[in-house]
Amino acid sequence: MSHIHLIGVCGTFMGGIARLAVSLGHRVTGSDKAFYSPMVEQLADLGIDTYTGYDGAQLQPQPDLVIVGNAVSRGNPEVEALLNLGIPYTSGAQWLRENLLIGRHVVAVAGTHGKTTTASLVAHLLHSAGLEPGFLIGGVPGNFDVSARLGQSNIFVVEADEYDTAFFDKRSKFLHYSPSTLVLNNLEFDHADIFADVSDIETQFHHLMRCLPSNGRVIFNAESESLQRVIARGCWSEVQTFGRSGDWTLGADGTIDGPALAPAEPCGWVADGDHNRLNALAAIAACAHLGVDPDQSRAALVSFKPPKRRLEYLGSPRGVHLYDDFAHHPTAIAATLEALRARHPGAGLIVALELRSNSMRAGVHRNALPGALAAAKFVVQYVPNSADADTELLGTDAKVTSVCDLITILGNQMCEGDCIVCMSNGSFDNAPRQILGALSAHESQ
C-alpha cells in the first residue's frame, strides 16, 4: 500500500481521484484551501485525512506520491516543499491514465456545457444495461451518489475537461485519456485565463482528435460551428452527428430518433429544456457504440437522476422553490432559466449569481449576460472576494458581499410561488443551504 497525498483534494475531479486511489488500496491524504459540499461528505465517508490550508509540514512523513490539482500554482507551500524534497509527483489526469485507463474502452464526454450531466447519463445507461462501467465525473451523479468508481467491466466513462492539467503540464486534461468513444457536446469560448480565443480552444480539441484510434467513434453536435471546424481540421475516426438534424435527431416535441430507434417516440426523460434532451441524445448514441440497444437506453432515461448542483431542488420554504445550479456561462445560465420557466410556468425567477469563474471575473461574458438573464425578475450578484469588489455585471439589479446580506435581499424580493436559483461553479460559501436554513427557520416561527 502506497501513501498518496492530493493537493487540492476537494475539487470534484480530485475528490474522484481520491476515491479511486482508496479503492485501489492506497492510503490517501489531502489538503485544500476550503472544504465544501458535496465533496467534503465523500472524503469523510472514505476516511481520508484532510488538512484545511496548505503547509509543507503536511508532507511529513513524506508520501510516496503527490497528485497536484490543476488549481494549484507555484508558490503554494506544499508545491514548494514537494519540489525541494524531491517527492515524486504527477497530475490527476496522468495518474488516471496510467492506473485505470490503459487497456480499457474509454468513453470521454467533452465540450463547454453539459459534460457532467451527459457523462452521468452514459454511466447510468451502461449500468442499466448491465455493463457496470467505471467512471470519474466532475460532480456527484444522482444514480450513484459517488463521483467515481472502479467499475466491474472494461469500460470507463470520464468527464473530459479542456482546462489545463497542472502547473507543470499546460495541455488540456482530456489529452491524457485516449478515448475510443468521444462525445463532443458543444464548444464556446471559456477559460479566458488560459485560452486567448475560441480558436485556441479548438486547437486543443483538434489535438484530442489526433489521440483517437481509427476504429473509435466521435459523436458531435452538428449545430456547433466550432465543432464543425474541429472535425474539418482532421478526424481519423468514425463520425456521427446529433442535434436537431443529423444521425441522431431531436424533434421539436422532444422526440428522439436515430439508427435502430423506432421513430417519433417520446424521450421519456422528465428533465426540462432542449439542452438536457440533447445530452440524453448524445448519451444514447455513445452507448450504442458499445452495443447497447438504443431503445433500451431510451427506456432507461425515466430512472435517471440528474447530478447534484445541476438544477438541484433544495426545497420550498415559505412557498418559494429553491434551487442550486452550477451554471456560470451565459449559455448555461439562459438554459437553466428556460428549464425553470418550463418547470414553473408563471413563477417569478430570482437569481443569485456568484462571480466565480476566471472568465466571468475577467469580464469576458459581461455583454452577453443581460440577454442570458432576461427571463429573471430580479438578479443579485454575490461578490465575497475583495478583489472583485469593483466588478459590476450587466443585467444584475443588486450586489452583496455577504451571505447574510444575500439572505436579506432575497427575503425582501421573493413572493410565494417564486423560484430562487443560486448559480456558481464554486462553493458559493454554502449560500444555497444557508438560504434554505434561514427561510425554513423563519417559516417555523
Determine the Cα–Cα distance for residues 279 and 63; give it in Å rounded to an integer. Answer: 40
More confident residue, 93 or 40: 93
> Whole-model pTM?
0.81
336 and 379 co-located in one domain: yes
DSSP string, 141-168: -TTTSSSEE--SSSEEEEE---SEEETT
Domain boundary among 286, 303, 320: 303
Mean pLDDT across the stretch 432-442? 80
Closest CA to 184 of 141, 248, 133, 125: 248
| Res. 299: pLDDT tops 50 | yes
* Per-residue pLDDT tens over the stretch 153-210: 999 999 999 889 999 999 999 999 999 999 999 888 666 567 777 889 999 999 999 9
DSSP state of 409: H
Checking if the pLDDT of 77 tops 90, the result is yes
Confidence of residue 364 (pLDDT cuts 50, 70, 90): low
pLDDT tens-digit series, residues 105-157: 999 999 988 889 999 999 999 999 999 999 999 888 889 989 999 999 999 99
> How many angstroms separate the CA atoms of 9 and 40, rounded?
9
Asked if 15 and 40 sit in the same domain, the reply is yes
- pLDDT band of residue 262 (cuts 50, 70, 90) is very low
What average pLDDT does the chain have?
Answer: 86
Share of the chain above pLDDT 90, in %: 46
Q: Last residue of a domain, which of 281, 303, 325?
A: 303
Q: Are 154 and 131 in contact (CB under 8 A)?
A: no
Last residue of a domain, one of 277, 303, 329: 303
- Find the CATH number of the domain harbouring 71: 3.40.50.720
Q: Are residues 360 and 250 in the same domain?
A: no
Query: Across-strand partners of 134?
Result: 156
Q: Which three cell numbers stand for residue 211?
A: 489521440
Q: Would the pLDDT of 391 be above 90?
A: no
Contact at 8 Å (CB) between 395 and 373?
yes
Gap between the Cα atoms of 211 and 108, Å rounded: 12
Q: Are 294 and 320 within one domain?
A: no
| Domain, as residue range, for 240 | 103-303
438 in the same domain as 354:
yes
